[in-house]
Chain A
Amino acid sequence: MTTIPDVDQAQGGPREPVLSLRGISKHFGAVSALTNVDLDVHAGEVVALVGDNGAGKSTLVKILAGVHQPTSGTIAFGGEHVVLSDPSTALGLGIATVFQDLALCENLDVVANIFLGRELNPLRLDEVSMELRAWTLLNELSARIPSVREPVASLSGGQRQTVAIARSLLTEPKLILLDEPTAALGVAQTAEVLDLVERVRARGLGVIMISHNMEDVRAVADRIVVLRLGRNNGEFEPDVSNQDLVTAITGADENSVSRRANRRRAHQSPELGR
């Protein structure tokens, strides 16, 4: 049967990627946070970006959000070469970001935060429509938020994360960057966010998701891209073995995870032998 390559082609091969990074490097003084990173994201594809602390994941996300500018390398979005010189350029192109630190204004209420920078009716704010839309977005995420008119400072970590995600969905983006989207969420909200990621994919949008939770990554990702010390360190299908993934992330067969696994095995095997 030759259907398998066909499916593969239909899913990713010949189609133009939404986002295409080539040779992205970023230096902070003497530190090279990113070196020659390549990354493609296609429409309707969820790419998981994994790596250890300091691998450069958040730096890459900030470059795509226009917060940092790359030292070298090119970014193509929708087939065209773009320069993301500031956050508003990225937002204008349709790249929405949920930052790891959420980037909310604690003194403003939920509605103001969701619509920040994109208020309806700039000269005479349309508070009623904004509040309605905010409720709709929050309901889609099954958020548990007591009032959208309280300052964000009064919300818990999980509620704030939901607000940040709701904000990213406001503008109907083409590409969504999620930096640790489930880190502070409860069981139900995590499931909602994963559902949401799948819904976004079904609408034909591209998603880049950073997570340390391999279970979440396997659950939704179409492709897993590993970064290590600021470089590409392999691409995997979601059904890759844990061993291979950990090896790529830590950079060695012999690592703290495998050592721990061996220790446990060694500890257990005498028991089995008995």
Chain B
Amino acid sequence: MTDDTQQVSTARLLDRSDERVKHADTLGNTIRAFVDRVRSGDLGSLPVVVGLVVICTAFESLNPVFLAPNNLVNLLFDCSTVGVISLGIVCILMVGEIDLSVGSVSGFASALVGVLWVGQDWPVAVAIVTALMLGAAIGALYAFLFNRLGMPSFVSTLAGLLAWLGLQLYLLGSSGSINLPYGSPLVNFGQMLVMPPIVSYVLAAVASLVMFVTSYRTAARRRQAGLSASSLGRMVLKALLVTIVLEFVVYYLNLGRGIPWMFGLFVGLCVVMNYALTRTKWGRSMSAVGGNREAARRAGINVRRVYLSAFVLCSTLAAAGGVLAAARLASSSQQAGTGDVNLNAIAAAVIGGTSLFGGRGSAYSALLGVIVIQSIASGLTLLDLSSSLRYMITGAVLAIAVIVDSLARRSRLSHGRA
């Protein structure tokens, strides 16, 4: 009799035994599993949610403009520039390296676009592509220094920080800044262009629909293969919740100017990056190299090429962020990419849940983290605080984020969650 039951339920049993809590069927079990996970240091996006609630309550009580639709729309415009840079930082942190020069690279790219487009009368598209390609070349240089000469990325990118800043100042010459023409497509994109309301509603609906369909098909395949799968009810519930939240956000932002296309571009990049990191062999290799470089090498992964791809992506996205920043400010200036851009981009990735120690991270951490960082910046600007105070507060937030990351990592290690 026992033999019989074992035979029948072998596939299911192996998949599910000892794991009832994690593969929770009921809502209560799901919540309990979540609490367990957080306790063991697998925080996920919890710090971001808590942080955002605290930030919103604090700033809203100090200045009611903070949560006004138009302020949020402006916030999204600002998010997109640093966010794209932060997306590159996620890539480089995944393999356990760092790029400290993203600010300078973005400033250099913005200066280059100004010089080539306005100064030299190149077509704007060619100027942008040139900037992106030079960004890629900078990443390739770092990868060469790292792979072939064994130079720690910390040092090479610190050198790059100075070098590309110097190049930016040289390009801009004595004038110090180049104004980009108002009314040009690039500047419009950075300052004005928002989605028509109907497009934004449809996009939000399509997003949740795609999410539902993919999870439904995965569940069907898993069930066919005799593995456990989430129930239809849960998937419908989840999809409904996501739809409601997304559509509400879209509705609220449409009370103001609407959702910037630039933010749409940023979110699109996040989605693509998330797919690449989680659903492709390349993404697996990135996590593997970040988790255990030697193990990845022995598994036959070309570790050098993985590092090359990470460095190149990081610098290219930094350059793209620089172009967006130039569009946002309608100028290429000596200040572009200096100051807190570097640290904001890194802090955003870490706050969003990408580990500084490699092997753990998600493209969406750039999205979530940059919203937190920009909310703080926006709130402090609304309070009319001096930049001295803003730097100090942002610095403290970064420190707290890294402390949370370190503590969570220690807890994960002791709970066997790597």
Residues of A within 8 A of B (CB): 65, 67, 86-88, 91-92, 97, 99, 103-108, 112, 116-119, 122-125, 127-129, 131-132, 135, 138-139, 146-147, 151-155
Tell me which residues across on chain B come within 8 A of A119, comparing CB atoms.
281, 284
Q: Contact at B288–A105, with CB atoms within 8 Å?
A: yes
Q: Which of B14, B292, B302 contacts A139 (CB 8 A)?
A: B14
Interface of B, secondary structure class, is: helix
Please report the C-alpha to C-alpha distance between residue A212 and residue B418 in the assembled complex, in whole angstroms. 30
Q: Contact at A108–B225, with CB atoms within 8 Å?
A: no
Tell me which residues across on chain B come within 8 A of A123, comparing CB atoms.
280-281
* Stretch of B17-25, B121-129, B152-160 at the chain-chain interface: B17-25
B6–chain A nearest beta-carbon distance, Å: 12
Q: Which of B221, B287, B300 contacts A108 (CB 8 A)?
A: B287
Whether B387 sits at the interface, judged by CB under 8 Å, is no
Whether B417 sits at the interface, judged by CB under 8 Å, is yes
Q: Contact at B281–A105, with CB atoms within 8 Å?
A: no
Interface size on B, residues (CB 8 A): 42
Tell me which residues across on chain B come within 8 A of A139, comparing CB atoms.
10, 14
A-B contact pairs, 26 of them (CB 8 A): A67-B297, A87-B299, A88-B300, A88-B301, A88-B302, A91-B299, A104-B292, A105-B292, A107-B291, A112-B288, A116-B295, A116-B299, A116-B301, A117-B300, A117-B301, A118-B299, A123-B280, A125-B280, A127-B218, A128-B221, A135-B15, A138-B14, A139-B14, A147-B22, A151-B416, A153-B417
Q: Contact at B281–A152, with CB atoms within 8 Å?
A: no
B17–chain A nearest beta-carbon distance, Å: 7
Q: How many A-B residue pairs have CB under 8 A?
A: 114
* Per-residue contact bits, chain B 210-241, to A (CB 8 Å; 1 contact, 0 not): 00000000100110011100000000000000
Give the residue name and chain of the A residue nearest to B281 (CB). A122
Whether B360 sits at the interface, judged by CB under 8 Å, is yes
A181–chain B nearest beta-carbon distance, Å: 16
Q: Contact at B291–A125, with CB atoms within 8 Å?
A: no
Tell me which residues across on chain B come within 8 A of A138, comparing CB atoms.
14
Tell me which residues across on chain B come within 8 A of A92, comparing CB atoms.
300
* A116 touching B288 in the complex, CB below 8 Å, given contacts A107-B359, A107-B418, A128-B221: yes
Tell me which residues across on chain A come within 8 A of B139, comparing CB atoms.
none
Tell me which residues across on chain A come within 8 A of B11, comparing CB atoms.
135
A192–chain B nearest beta-carbon distance, Å: 16
Tell me which residues across on chain B come within 8 A of A116, comparing CB atoms.
284, 288, 295-296, 299, 301
Q: Contact at B418–A103, with CB atoms within 8 Å?
A: no
Please report the C-alpha to C-alpha distance between residue A155 and residue B282 in the assembled complex, in whole angstroms. 25
Extra contacts, 15 of them, besides A92-B300, A135-B15, A154-B416 (Cβ < 8 A), are A86-B300, A88-B301, A104-B292, A105-B287, A107-B360, A108-B284, A108-B291, A116-B301, A122-B280, A125-B279, A128-B225, A132-B226, A139-B10, A151-B418, A153-B417
Give the residue name and chain of the A residue nearest to B412 (CB). A153
Please report the C-alpha to C-alpha distance between residue A1 and residue B292 in the assembled complex, in whole angstroms. 58
Please report the C-alpha to C-alpha distance between residue A122 and residue B280 in the assembled complex, in whole angstroms. 5
Whether B258 sits at the interface, judged by CB under 8 Å, is no
Please report the C-alpha to C-alpha distance between residue A62 and residue B300 in the assembled complex, in whole angstroms. 13
* A107 touching B287 in the complex, CB below 8 Å, given contacts A99-B298, A118-B300: yes
* A103 touching B292 in the complex, CB below 8 Å, given contacts A128-B222, A132-B227, A153-B417: yes
* A128 touching B298 in the complex, CB below 8 Å, given contacts A135-B11, A135-B15: no
Q: Which of A117, A146, A155 contacts B19 (CB 8 A)?
A: A146
Whether B36 sits at the interface, judged by CB under 8 Å, is no
Q: Which of A88, A99, A106 contacts B291 (CB 8 A)?
A: A106
Q: Contact at B418–A132, with CB atoms within 8 Å?
A: no
Tell me which residues across on chain A come within 8 A of B292, comparing CB atoms.
103-107
Q: Contact at A153–B227, with CB atoms within 8 Å?
A: no
* A87 touching B291 in the complex, CB below 8 Å, given contacts A105-B359, A107-B360, A153-B417: no
Tell me which residues across on chain B come within 8 A of A125, comparing CB atoms.
279-281, 284
Tell me which residues across on chain A come within 8 A of B226, comparing CB atoms.
132
* A103 touching B281 in the complex, CB below 8 Å, given contacts A135-B11, A147-B18: no
Q: Contact at B413–A153, with CB atoms within 8 Å?
A: yes
Please report the C-alpha to C-alpha distance between residue A103 and residue B300 in the assembled complex, in whole angstroms. 12
Please report the C-alpha to C-alpha distance between residue A103 and residue B298 in the assembled complex, in whole angstroms. 7
Residue picked from A65, A108, A122, A123, most chain B C-beta under 10 Å? A108
* A151 touching B417 in the complex, CB below 8 Å, given contacts A105-B287, A112-B284: yes
Give the residue name and chain of the B residue nearest to A125 (CB). B279
Q: Which of B18, B298, B301, B418 contacts A152 (CB 8 A)?
A: B418
Q: Contact at A97–B291, with CB atoms within 8 Å?
A: no
Whether B60 sits at the interface, judged by CB under 8 Å, is no
Q: Contact at B298–A65, with CB atoms within 8 Å?
A: yes
Q: Contact at A105–B296, with CB atoms within 8 Å?
A: yes
* A105 touching B280 in the complex, CB below 8 Å, given contacts A135-B11, A135-B14, A154-B416: no
Whether B340 sits at the interface, judged by CB under 8 Å, is no
Interface residues of B in 13-71 (CB under 8 A from A): 14-15, 17-19, 22
